[in-house]
Amino acid sequence: MKSVQKLLIISILLCLSSCSVFHAQQSISRKDNTNDEFLLKQNWNFSLSHLKEIEFYSFLRPACKDNIIFAANRFGIIRAINLKNGKKKWSTNLSSKKIISLFNYQFFSKITSFLHCAKFIQFLSGRQSILLSAGIAVNGNYIYVGTEKNQLYALNANDGSVLWKTTLMGEAMSFPVISNGLVFIHTANGILQAINQNTGNVLWNIHLEEDPVLLSMKGECAVAIKSDKLIIGSDNGSVKAFYINTGKLLWQYNITIQVNGKPVSRLRDVDSTPIIIGNIVYCVAYNGHLTALNLETGAVIWQQDIGSIRDVAVNNECIYVVDQNDIIWSIIQDNGQIKWSQKFLHHLTSPIIYKKFLVVADDRGYLFFLNIANGSIIYQQHINNYGFISNLLVAKDNLILQSKDEKIYSFTAGKKAIK
């Protein structure tokens, strides 16, 4: 059997090399910007799986609870990782088994470190990707993650066992949000569903768009919740407020700009998750405005001509937005005035505040630390050749990143102590 496998591997390598399916790592010409007064320490990195699907855009992001990092890949592998040392606590594989398996899954998954032809390896190994797409969210002893196959899973956070799964009305494309005993999920066809977090039973469904949206981007925004109200954006450019328990509409407001021309100029998606601070809702659309709305009435407080699909970061003074052109904007919360902006060359992740820094990563594998007061780059370093697109995570004193090639990184950073 071993000799057969060796011959088969050689044949696969020769065949695939002639078809040019090897994934060449990008060469980064940009140099690291080192700073003698800044210290970036990599605590550990962890590879989720040998079986990678890096050619797909994934919205999966890590989550943390009680010193455990939970991370998943599109194929269906979910792992619990010790935050302190990067060691695996448990692992679950949700990928579906086929009736016929030509060869051992573990054996064939190993050669994908050299081949990035996931569908072919899946065929040989007898495993089929479950297409995880939304999550991970953690609440109490539950982990929630959705799929492009219209499924929402609840797992036991202690051991990874499946507690329940329920069928959704569309592809799960938003980060699951848990509140008031319910899981809220926004599907790709514009439906908001409220699901009992303990049983998986659907409480109510809301169609967010009255008419079908013919052109939209992949992804949906998650809900923002305060008290008995939830706020959500839709693909038609509107932001809506609903009562949680009944799903009754409270108000709605369109924050997009009507533009004729190229298809990209007609995109109206509100994919960035709204932020609620006090009695104000902050939201942004792709072709539209960064807008501050009154939580109770939906009345406009101010607007700024900035569009985005990425989640925003906030502190006590400002909102930080990465726009469609990968410019980071610092906007004063009270009046919507611009404090500073900083242009980047490549596609950025959503920004996050870590300690006293604003942090982003890009699709070329760089990690950036910015002065939050003026936007200047304090430090940058190349971390990964495949790049980053997932939201970053702050877990206690650690900065957690998930790369496109499914590595989880833990860093600590800050200014060096002056001796």
Q: Any idea where the domains of the chain sit in the sequence? A: 33-95+130-415
- Predicted TM-score (pTM) of the model is 0.84
* pLDDT of 53 strictly over 70: no
pLDDT for position 256: 85
Please tell me which residue, 97 or 155, carries the higher pLDDT value: 155
Average pLDDT, the chain: 84
Residue with the two structure tokens 């009507």: 258
Higher per-residue confidence, 262 vs 414: 414
Q: Which residues pair with 380 in a beta bridge?
A: 33, 368
State how far the Cα of 41 lies from the Cα of 371, in Å rounded to an integer: 19
> How far is residue 223's CA from residue 243's CA, in Å, rounded to a whole number?
12
3-class secondary structure, 293: strand
Given this model, what pLDDT does residue 253 score?
A: 93
Position 6 scores a pLDDT of 47
| pLDDT score of 123 more than 60 | no
Checking if the pLDDT of 371 tops 70, the result is: yes
All residues at 6 or more sequence positions from 316 whose CB lies less than 8 Å from its CB, including other chains: none
pLDDT at 73 over 60: yes
DSSP string, 94-147: -PEEPS--SS-HHHHHHGGGT---HHHHHHHHTEE---EEEEEEEETTEEEEEE
At the second CATH level, the architecture of 33-95+130-415 is 7 Propeller (2.130)
Q: Which residue has the higher pLDDT, 173 or 294?
A: 294
409, 400 in Cβ contact below 8 A? Answer: yes
Structure tokens at 262: 């190229």
Nearest to 173 by CA among 204, 144, 143, 133: 133
Higher pLDDT, 54 or 134: 134
Lowest mean pLDDT segment, chosen from 5-14, 205-214, 217-226, 408-417: 5-14
pLDDT above 60 for 388: yes
If pLDDT is split at 50, 70 and 90, which confidence band does 18 have?
A: very low
Q: How far apart are CA 45 and CA 352, in angstroms?
A: 20
pLDDT higher at 127 or 407: 407
Is the pLDDT score of 31 beyond 70? no
Q: Kindly state the percentage of the chain with pLDDT values over 90.
A: 66
